[in-house]
A and B are shown apart, each in its own frame.
Chain A
Amino acid sequence: GAGVSQSPSNKVTEKGKDVELRCDPISGHTALYWYRQSLGQGLEFLIYFQGNSAPDKSGLPSDRFSAERTGGSVSTLTIQRTQQEDSAVYLCASRPRDRLRTGANVLTFGAGSRLTVL
């Protein structure tokens, strides 16, 4: 598509439930990122996928968080047994390959999925 698409745009859930957030990156973009945006916390890195390489999961805050990227395109971020502190906007971003050649580590962001855990 023309941009990075995320769904749902808004999700309200009860504490303890599982949620799935979806990201559809720009076609041809090999790198995909998930960030969490919380008030006062800035943008917190969660996970990064690059092509067929093993993902960088070092930002996932707990084992309740997981993400996968199927076929090198769509990604799903899953939060199990949600807690109130998981409430935030979850942003997905993608970028094209050849970062080192062009020096263009420029991310295109989606509109985000706002998660509210009651």
Chain B
Amino acid sequence: AQRVTQPEKLLSVFKGAPVELKCNYSYSGSPELFWYVQYSRQRLQLLLRHISRESIKGFTADLNKGETSFHLKKPFAQEEDSAMYYCALSGRETSGSRLTFGEGTQLTVNP
């Protein structure tokens, strides 16, 4: 079974402050981890994935297999970062599998 937990439903920070959105997962095999984002009145879209090891819009996320975490971080939050963020996991062993999402964290960046 695969499970994703985002402990914070709501997160509020001020512009310029660092932000960290927490994500923990449970999966017995080798996981693929993703962060998806949904801005107001827009479609859910991919933000980044751990395989790419990239920084998107200043956000980074490191897969920590020891702590089974994939926290999303940005050193200086911007107002346009306000959105709903979902952490997601899929298994790499099977040829086709579901993407399991967490419950999401609503990030608000205040001016």
Q: Which residues of B contact A33 (CB under 8 A)?
A: 98-99
Q: Which residues of B contact A107 (CB under 8 A)?
A: 36, 46, 99
Contact (Cβ within 8 A) B45 A109: yes
Inter-chain CA distance A58–B45, complex, in Å, is 24
Contact (Cβ within 8 A) B46 A111: no
A48-56, A62-70, A72-80: which lies at the B interface? A48-56
B43 within 8 Å of A by Cβ?
Answer: yes
Inter-chain CA distance A40–B110, complex, in Å, is 22
Q: Which residues of A contact B95 (CB under 8 A)?
A: 50, 99-100
Q: Which residues of B contact A53 (CB under 8 A)?
A: 96
Contact (Cβ within 8 A) A40 B103: yes
Inter-chain CA distance A110–B86, complex, in Å, is 16
A87-107 contacts to B, CB under 8 A, are 91, 93, 99-100, 103-107
CB distance from A42 to the nearest CB of B (A): 3
CB distance from A92 to the nearest CB of B (A): 11
Contact (Cβ within 8 A) B45 A42: no
Which of B45, B98, B101, B103 has the most chain A CB within a 10 Å cutoff? B98
Known: A31-B96, A105-B90. A42 touches B103 (CB 8 A): yes
Q: Mark A23-52, 1 if CB is under 8 A from B, else 0.
A: 000000001010100001111010010100
A59 within 8 Å of B by Cβ?
Answer: yes
Q: Which residues of A contact B44 (CB under 8 A)?
A: 43, 91, 93, 109
Chain B residue nearest to A49 (CB atoms) is: B96
Known: A42-B86, A99-B96, A105-B99. A111 touches B43 (CB 8 A): yes
Q: Mark B82-111, 1 if CB is under 8 A from A, else 0.
A: 000010101010011111111110000000
Inter-chain CA distance A35–B86, complex, in Å, is 13
Closest 7 CB pairs of A and B: A42-B103, A43-B101, A50-B96, A109-B44, A103-B51, A105-B90, A42-B104
Q: A41-B103, A112-B43 are in contact. List 14 more A-B contacts (CB 8 A).
A: A42-B6, A42-B86, A43-B88, A43-B104, A45-B99, A45-B100, A48-B96, A56-B97, A100-B92, A105-B34, A105-B97, A105-B99, A106-B34, A109-B43
